[in-house]
Structure 1
């Protein structure tokens, strides 16, 4: 049962990496520091004070960068591989007491997969926002992603099963919303 919960925690945190890379690492480190989250061997550094300071600074810089029009789209594009790596790391960090080959296989498939899906959703949301508003609405998208990242990261540790269900629902809703926006825009373009 504990292994299943740890995998769900890892998937939730990894999905958060697709929106913001450093928020889940910061939340995970703080949860470890207060004794709420056990990290697997070799990942205790995530809960160290130096790491928490670095994650805190990196989080502030990352959030601020997403408020600069067009820089946010560039950041989204280059962050995809980094978010996948972060998703793999956070998943591996919480999976304890299993063989390394199984742990890394789960981390790569589940963690990397969850991070890549949410990263692509984030890219789609920013690109759609840029297309329809010339980037003016991107800060609103960025605020939404930041708030979602914090909520999902915290809930991933507190109630991981709920987060996995919420992530699935969120992915379906975002996909539908993006598709609807694109259909409307194409319809308006045909009318003009």
Structure 2
């Protein structure tokens, strides 16, 4: 019955793309490594324009980058340095992974959707967790940052698996995540700004 649904392949591709984009909002390279490995092992098909994702050089590079990124978030100061570049990097990675799921869509609509849906989702989640980490540093002196980092890594792994295994659930989770991150991320930034103002007033 589902085979007769118009545009079903595009809908499923969008669900997968949104899920992968959300995963890059947590960790930039882990979802790319997972997609590269899955396509390299022929577990999932890959658009011919993105065959470089299925290549061994990409697999090795993203694997090394994944390990380095995960470990770096447990190093004080380095985690905040990464936060300053993680949002644009997540936006790019989310856009690429979203676009990679569309084979027959025209170039302009493909990348327009990728930038808006994929890049927007990834950047929103990444910026939200940057705010949460900044608030954690301000309130716990950085002691809680490892918990935030572990949560991000787990989120990236879970969302990547869901996107490739059950894309509909992944898309629903992505929407919920964006809403939660916007709400709690804004609160974290407001608390941080409020704390900085109080510090200035006391001095």
Deviation, 1:136, is 1.1
**How many residues were matched structurally?**
189
| The structure with more radius of gyration | 2
Summarize the alignment of residues 83-162 of structure 1 with structure 2, pairs less than 5 Å apart: 83-162=90-169
Deviation, 1:164, is 1.6
Task: Extract structure 1 runs of 4+ deviating beyond 4 A.
Answer: 174-178, 180-183
Q: Deviations over 1:128-174 (max 9, x none)?
A: 11111111110110001001101101111111110121122233344
Which sections of structure 2, spanning at least 5 residues, go unmatched?
1-7, 199-203
User: For 1:8 and 1:106, how far apart are their aligned partners in 2?
Assistant: 12
* 1:59 alignment partner, one of 49, 52, 66: 66
Greater displacement, 34-43 / 140-149 = 34-43
Deviation, 1:106, is 0.9
* 1:74 alignment partner, one of 70, 81, 91: 81
What TM-score, normalized to structure 1? Answer: 0.89
* 1:31 alignment partner, one of 38, 42, 65: 38
Contact 2:18 2:174 survives alignment (8 Å): no
Contact 2:125 2:181 survives alignment (8 Å): no
User: For 1:78 and 1:96, how far apart are their aligned partners in 2?
Assistant: 30
Contact 1:19 1:146 survives alignment (8 Å): yes
**Could you say what the CA RMSD is over the residues aligned between the two structures, in angstroms?**
2.3
What TM-score, normalized to structure 2? Answer: 0.84
Contact 1:8 1:160 survives alignment (8 Å): yes
Greater displacement, 145-154 / 122-131 = 122-131
User: For 2:113 and 2:60, how far apart are their aligned partners in 1?
Assistant: 29
User: For 1:176 and 1:3, how far apart are their aligned partners in 2?
Assistant: 30
Contact 2:87 2:126 survives alignment (8 Å): yes
User: For 1:39 and 1:111, how far apart are their aligned partners in 2?
Assistant: 17
